[in-house]
Amino acid sequence: MARRVFVRPPPLVRDFAIALVVVLLLAWVAEWAAARTWVDVRTQPLEFTSGALTVATPLTQEISVVERAGAHELARIELAGHWFDRPAPEAVLAQIFEVGTTAPLSKATGRAGASVGTIDFEFGRLELLPKRAYELRLSPGEHIERVPFAPLVRVRARLGARAAAETDTEPRLRHEFDIVCASDEWSGFVLPMPAGAANSARFAVRGADEQAPLRSGTFAVAAGLGRHAFAAFDPLPDSRGRRYSIELGFDQPAALWSGRRGIAHAQLHGTRGPSPNLRALRRAGTEFGPLDLVLRAEGGSPTRPRGVREWVGLVLLALLFACALAATRRIG
Amino acid sequence: MARLAFPPVLGQALIVKERSAWAWVALVALLHGLCWHALLPAWQGEDEPWHYEFAELVSRGHLPSGGGDVRAEDFERNPQALCEILRRFPTVERAEAAELQRDIAASMDRARWTERVDFAPRIAAPSSYDGYAPGYNAANQPPLAYLLTGAWIAMLGGPTPEARLARARVLSLVWFIGTCIAIYAAARAWLELEASALAAGLSAALLPAHARAAACVTNDTLAVLLGALACLCVARVATSARPRTWFAVLLAVVAAGAATKTTTAIWLLAPAVAGAFMPAAARGARVTWIALGLGASAALGALAFGLWASHHSPALPASLDAAAGRLERGLGGASWLDLGSTLVGRTGWNTRGFPRAVELTLLASILVLAVGFVRTLPWRENRAPALFCAVAVAAQVLLVASRGVGSARYLMPALAPMCVLVALALRGWPGGTRVTTRLWVGALAGYAVLFGVWVLWSGQWLVVSS
């Protein structure tokens, strides 16, 4: 009677099979490791429609990631955005509700986050159940009427010192630029600044084609890395869609920039040559987006949208490994 | 007794015993490139929207020019990226350029670009992608890569920006594979031993920081290919029976490199070096060839500088003070860390990757290779390629430092000499070239897989939104 005998698979097939198992294991471990860290729910950025949190107009945000990913313990929420440094983060109250209910499951008072412009809320261990809808509600704390906030002004680099000065290393004392406001009640701005010494500045906000400032004031800039200049003023009503100019006068030379490192440099030299006068131009049309705010909740597991393409990518990685080994087998 | 073979479908399809080594390099490069094509979302190549825009305009029949002045009132009214494009493309109407920028911005929004790039502002699709990243543009880049990509897009077409982008990326894959083969050939010419050539070619194919270029629309990919071809030409001038032909090819390659990107600048010196490498039989007068090479380098350098200046290249410093400031930044610790970090590999426009400790550990492999390389220095037959490649890599590193921003993609035009040095280093380690090469390639393949899963697959895809 004939016996059936299995022979060894070719080395390439064997390597591919082993690599595929390793790749899938790695993918599983990567997912598991990601579940241990922050769950980023920035996919639903918070959209502010006014220039302040008030008791009557709190900000609410559904936490859909929790709903999809199953039961979790929500430990901490971080709001990363650009807020006024006045009033203090303690003025903001965060509450978690089950949608449709009025009693909060938990509440936490804000405290300064790890970096400029972030506020942390510690909830303790709060269990959130699957297939339930929850929402986060931000409002002023007790005995506080209103918490102003500021959209981030993304300053064009060539408005900054590097673009406007004679050399890259010669920051200017004065900056002036135009913006189109996207807030209903514009009440301040935040300007990203590179590292530098402490500084202070005067600002004046004018309407388009107006000479007299609508709002003016002073603000301080702390020394160090990742600085931001915060300027707050009384809200300008019906400001959305209107054009304003901002004039800044620093006591010490200062640069303003945004975006990744190096762009200021590229920006300057991208406009030099035949148009040297462009350095002195003011910029129009800088847009205000919604407040650059990030909501991240600790705990839970990320559920990522995987399609056929991504799984094919994993299989290709395994095949790549097997073929690389096969290529070295040529060497003997 | 009946023997039941292992299911032969895969085995017979994939096993070809006598396949030549360069084909294996090409196969590995193809697979790695395809991995990136599968796993890298749209617009996640660094600066890809701007590169694509340039090529897309070419595909519509517009040709770039050096660019003239821009009127002040245009800058007052329009986003800067739009002004730069209008300056570069005199035949483009403002409405068409603005619409293209809106389309690309909308596509970036659909691809959830802002959620994958950590420095990005969290805004809805702006009217121009200037709102995503103010002032970015590719309009001041030399035109060759865009002319080729534009022709490619015109040939393949596509109904949506996403589809056209995906097809344009295929050309980058072709260039990537060509680069790996050229590096294999250069190492084969310099080092002769097939194991070393395979080590060089597979190093290029398996390095994630290089493979990323296979799936991005960018002029970097062509610049790396031309750098590899220039290295191959120099090697062939020194070793081939037809050195004059290779010298002529070298001139064309170097000129093409200058018309592609400023990061290929070190290869402007290649004709001078090749003149010195000319073998005795073809020398005629040794001094003549050296003088010819120097003259060619000088002429090409002058042409390149003129081209870059006319395109307002950001790589050219505006003054000596500015150059000194850039060099100071480029030699700083932060710049070196960024260079190392991006050489290990990052995604999300360099915002996501391995933790810093892991990156530093992986970079330590360079020290291991360096020890092997030092051990080969006394070997007489390796001196010429070792010296040439070491100087080329050092020059490229200096070029990156002079730019003031440490990024591995600026280093990649010297990938070929880097890989030849790796192959040399593997020769220097005890155990024999074959053993060290197999270990190295196995480790590099494992690293490519780890990066692909951990950083690319896990890091680029998003938390569910609804």
Same domain, B128 and B202: no
Q: Which of A146, A121, A176 is nearest to A52 (CA)?
A: A146
Q: Which of A113, A115, A150 is nearest to A289 (CA)?
A: A150
Q: Is B305 in CB contact (< 8 Å) with chain A? A: no
Of A167, A292, A330, the CB nearest to B122: A292
- Put simply, the chain B residues between 336 and 355 with a CB less than 8 A from any chain A CB are 349-350
Find, in chain A, the residue whose alpha carbon is nearest to that of B46: A260
Looking at per-residue confidence, does B389 or B275 come out higher? B389
Q: Which residues lie below 8 Å from residue B314, measured CB to CB, with a gap of 6+?
A: A265, A266, A267, A269, A270, B140
Has residue B465 been placed in a domain? no
Residue A198 CA, distance from chain mean position? 25
Lowest mean pLDDT of A128-137, B27-36, B173-182, name the range.
A128-137
The residue assigned the tokens 């701007």 is B50
Cis-peptide, bond into residue A87, ω within 30° of zero: yes
Same domain, B36 and B134: no
Chain B residues in contact with A275 by the CB 8 A cut-off are 69-70
- Would the CB atoms of A331 and B438 count as touching at under 8 Å? yes
Confidence class for position B19, pLDDT limits 50, 70, 90:
low
Chain B residues in contact with A25 by the CB 8 A cut-off are none
Of A6, A44, A330, the CB nearest to B198: A330
- Would the CB atoms of A13 and B72 count as touching at under 8 Å? no
Q: Is A152 in CB contact (< 8 Å) with chain B? A: yes
Same domain, B187 and B118: no
- Would the CB atoms of B24 and A326 count as touching at under 8 Å? yes
Helices then strands, each counted (H, E), chain A: 5, 19
Residue A184 CA, distance from chain mean position? 21
- Put simply, the chain A residues between 34 and 63 with a CB less than 8 A from any chain B CB are 34, 39-45
Is the pLDDT at B411 greater than 90? The verdict is yes
- Cβ atoms within 10 Å, residue A210: 11
Same domain, B331 and B203: yes
ipTM reported for the complex, 2 dp: 0.89
Has residue B209 been placed in a domain? yes
The per-residue pLDDT for range B304-329, each reduced to its tens digit, is: 999 988 887 878 876 777 788 788 87
Burial of A130 (0-12, 13-18, 19+ CB in 10 A): exposed
Q: Which residues lie below 8 Å from residue B4, measured CB to CB, with a gap of 6+?
A: A4, A5, A6, A7
Lowest mean pLDDT of A21-25, B1-5, B222-226, B304-308, name the range.
B1-5
- Would the CB atoms of B316 and A327 count as touching at under 8 Å? no
Has residue B5 been placed in a domain? no
Same domain, B142 and B207: no
- Full domain range(s) for residue B145: 48-166
Find the helix or strand (DSSP H, E) in which B184 lies. Answer: helix B161-191
- Put simply, the chain B residues between 137 and 196 with a CB less than 8 A from any chain A CB are 137, 139-140, 194-195
Interface test with A, best of B453, B461, B466 (most A CBs within 10 A): B453
Q: Which numeric CATH code is attached to A41-148+292-298?
A: 2.60.120
- Put simply, the chain A residues between 161 and 180 with a CB less than 8 A from any chain B CB are 167-169
Q: Is A267 in CB contact (< 8 Å) with chain B? A: yes
State how far residue A220 is from chain B, nearest Cα, in angstroms: 24
Chain A residues in contact with B4 by the CB 8 A cut-off are 4-7
The domain segmentation of chain A, as residue ranges, is 11-35+306-329, 41-148+292-298, 157-287
Q: What is the largest CA-CA distance in chain B?
A: 89
- Please check whether residue A321 is in contact with residue B206, taking contact to mean a CB–CB distance below 8 angstroms: no
- Please check whether residue B199 is in contact with residue B426, taking contact to mean a CB–CB distance below 8 angstroms: yes
Burial of A311 (0-12, 13-18, 19+ CB in 10 A): middle
Q: Is B24 in CB contact (< 8 Å) with chain A? A: yes
3-class secondary-structure state, position B340: helix
- Would the CB atoms of A168 and B321 count as touching at under 8 Å? yes
Same domain, B341 and B200: yes
Has residue B81 been placed in a domain? yes
Token output for A309 = 């393409």
- Please check whether residue B248 is in contact with residue B203, taking contact to mean a CB–CB distance below 8 angstroms: no
Asked: is A157-287 a CATH 2.60.290 domain? The reply is yes
Find, in chain A, the residue whose alpha carbon is nearest to that of B18: A330
- Cβ atoms within 10 Å, residue A122: 15
Query: Could you give phi then psi for residue A118, rounded to 5 degrees?
Result: -110, 150
Q: Is B281 in CB contact (< 8 Å) with chain A? A: no
Looking at residues A40-56, what average pLDDT do you find?
A: 50
Chain B residues in contact with A2 by the CB 8 A cut-off are 1-2
Q: Is A274 in CB contact (< 8 Å) with chain B? A: yes
Token output for B280 = 């005795």
| Pairwise CA distance, residues B257 & B413, whole Å | 9
Which of B112, B140, B166 is the last residue before a domain boundary?
Answer: B166
Strand order across the beta sheet in which A215-221 lies: A215-221, A199-207, A243-254, A172-180, A286-287
Same domain, B192 and B161: no
Chain B residues in contact with A278 by the CB 8 A cut-off are 70, 72, 75
Has residue B207 been placed in a domain? yes
Has residue B447 been placed in a domain? yes
Looking at per-residue confidence, does B228 or A283 come out higher? B228
Q: Is B72 in CB contact (< 8 Å) with chain A? A: yes
The per-residue pLDDT for range A91-126, each reduced to its tens digit, is: 888 888 888 888 998 888 888 765 545 677 777 767
Has residue B388 been placed in a domain? yes
Looking at residues A229-244, what average pLDDT do you find?
A: 72
Confidence class for position A77, pLDDT limits 50, 70, 90:
low
The residue assigned the tokens 């039941």 is B4
Chain A residues in contact with B77 by the CB 8 A cut-off are 284-285
Chain A residues in contact with B180 by the CB 8 A cut-off are none
Which of B133, B149, B166 is the last residue before a domain boundary?
Answer: B166
Number of residues in chain B: 466
Same domain, B130 and B176: no
Instruction: Report the pLDDT value the prediction gives residue B67, as an integer from 0 to 100.
Output: 63
Per residue, the 3-state secondary structure of A284-298, as one string, reads CCEECCCCCCEEEEE
| Pairwise CA distance, residues B246 & A122, whole Å | 68
The per-residue pLDDT for range B334-349, each reduced to its tens digit, is: 788 889 999 999 888 8
| Pairwise CA distance, residues B60 & B48, whole Å | 18
Token output for A117 = 């412009």
- Cβ atoms within 10 Å, residue B167: 16
State how far residue B148 is from chain A, nearest Cα, in angstroms: 23
| Pairwise CA distance, residues A21 & A42, whole Å | 32
Looking at per-residue confidence, does B227 or B403 come out higher? B227
Amino acid at A157: A
| Pairwise CA distance, residues B53 & B165, whole Å | 10
Same domain, B288 and B178: yes
Highest mean pLDDT among A91-95, A319-323, B73-77, B124-128: A319-323
Find, in chain A, the residue whose alpha carbon is nearest to that of B125: A289
Same domain, B331 and B416: yes
| Pairwise CA distance, residues A94 & A75, whole Å | 13
The chain-wide mean pLDDT, for chain B, equals 86
Query: Could you give phi then psi for residue A195, rounded to 5 degrees?
Result: -60, 150
Q: Is B95 in CB contact (< 8 Å) with chain A? A: no
- Please check whether residue B269 is in contact with residue B403, taking contact to mean a CB–CB distance below 8 angstroms: no
Same domain, B119 and B251: no
Q: Is B17 in CB contact (< 8 Å) with chain A? A: no
Query: Could you give phi then psi for residue A240, rounded to 5 degrees?
Result: -60, 130
Has residue B328 been placed in a domain? yes
Query: Could you give phi then psi for residue A13, rounded to 5 degrees?
Result: -65, -40
- Would the CB atoms of A318 and B449 count as touching at under 8 Å? yes
Number of residues in chain A: 332
State the pTM of this model.
Answer: 0.74
Instruction: Report the pLDDT value the prediction gives residue B131, as an integer from 0 to 100.
Output: 62
Find, in chain B, the residue whose alpha carbon is nearest to that of A302: B463
Q: Which of A285, A226, A288, A217 is nearest to A248 (CA)?
A: A217
Same domain, B380 and B435: yes
Instruction: Report the pLDDT value the prediction gives residue A76, as an integer from 0 to 100.
Output: 64
Q: Is A20 in CB contact (< 8 Å) with chain B? A: no
| Pairwise CA distance, residues A313 & A306, whole Å | 11
Token output for B101 = 């920028």
CA angle B12, B17, B22 (to 5 degrees): 115
